[in-house]
């Protein structure tokens, strides 16, 4: 691992690999998140039944399920470090920006795994008509990137508070609401055959703004 405060691509990659490896060792975070996502999915599906002809509801409920999965699990990357008392060591070998970027990529991978399980299951359980895959996957990707960007910085902040995980959902919700609004309207349009360019642009712009501000703020994350 490179020493000092370098935030080169190699260092970020090293952090990502370290994250994946330590997650794979216990899979505690992943298991909990998957279980939670499937639980949410089950309750939504059980409560609403099959909604084959209501694509407006299908888009909304899909993103509610994904948002809940993200809210329940994405603080894990930082909380784990604090609980395992490994953060100090991590900070010795990498700059705050490097750590945060590595965790951001990890959160993205994490979300992708959750979605790979949840989304097909959702489409099957709810009896959804087949989506237009191009726009659908584009929205999933952009939405996940935006969720991960918001969750990384908030997760780092929340891990330093008293309640740790407990506050995460409430505090990150205001940042995730624009994502929810845009992805829901895009997914709906995708099913009804409309264009999704406006929503995709919005998501891209929002993610860019979040990332730009995050990059300015990462340096302030730890001081004591």
> Which chain residues interact with another protein by CB under 8 A?
150, 153-154, 157-158, 160-163, 167, 170-171, 173-175, 177-178, 181-182, 184-185, 198, 202, 205-206, 209-210, 213-214, 216-217, 220-221, 223-224
C-alpha count within 13 angstroms, C-beta hemisphere, residue 221: 27
Taking the complex as a whole, the smallest distance from the CB of residue 72 to another protein amounts, in Å, to: 17
Nearer to another protein, 2 or 170 (CB): 170
Task: Tell me the C-alpha to C-alpha distance, in Å, between residue 11 and each of 1, 3, 97.
Answer: 7, 9, 10
Nearer to another protein, 117 or 171 (CB): 171
Q: Is 164 left (phi over 0), alpha (psi -120 to 50) or beta?
A: left
Taking the complex as a whole, the smallest distance from the CB of residue 120 to another protein amounts, in Å, to: 26
Taking the complex as a whole, the smallest distance from the CB of residue 146 to another protein amounts, in Å, to: 10
Nearer to another protein, 45 or 75 (CB): 75
Nearer to another protein, 18 or 164 (CB): 164
Taking the complex as a whole, the smallest distance from the CB of residue 61 to another protein amounts, in Å, to: 15
Taking the complex as a whole, the smallest distance from the CB of residue 42 to another protein amounts, in Å, to: 27
Taking the complex as a whole, the smallest distance from the CB of residue 149 to another protein amounts, in Å, to: 10
Nearer to another protein, 142 or 184 (CB): 184
Nearer to another protein, 112 or 209 (CB): 209
What gap in Å lies between CA 203 and CA 176, rounded to an integer?
A: 11
């Amino acid at each position: 691992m490179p020493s000092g405060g370098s935030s080169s691509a190699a260092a970020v990659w090293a952090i990502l690999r370290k994250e994946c490896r330590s997650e794979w060792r216990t899979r505690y975070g992943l298991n909990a998140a998957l279980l939670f996502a499937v639980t949410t999915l089950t309750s939504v599906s059980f409560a609403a039944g099959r909604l084959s002809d209501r694509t407006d509801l299908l888009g909304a409920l899909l993103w509610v399920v994904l948002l809940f999965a993200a809210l329940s699990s994405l603080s894990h990357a930082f909380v784990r470090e604090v609980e395992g008392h490994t953060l100090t060591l991590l900070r010795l070998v990498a700059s705050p920006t490097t750590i945060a970027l590595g965790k951001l990529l990890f959160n993205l991978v994490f979300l992708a795994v959750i979605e790979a399980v949840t989304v097909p299951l959702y489409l099957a359980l709810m009896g959804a008509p087949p989506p237009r895959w191009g726009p659908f996957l584009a929205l999933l990707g952009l939405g996940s990137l935006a969720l991960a960007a918001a969750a990384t910085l908030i997760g780092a902040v929340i891990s330093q508070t008293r309640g740790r995980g407990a506050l995460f959902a409430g505090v990150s919700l205001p940042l995730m609401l624009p994502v929810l609004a845009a992805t829901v309207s895009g997914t709906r349009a995708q099913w009804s055959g409309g264009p999704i360019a406006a929503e995709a642009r919005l998501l891209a712009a929002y993610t860019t703004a979040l990332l730009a501000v995050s990059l300015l703020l990462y340096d302030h994350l730890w001081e004591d």
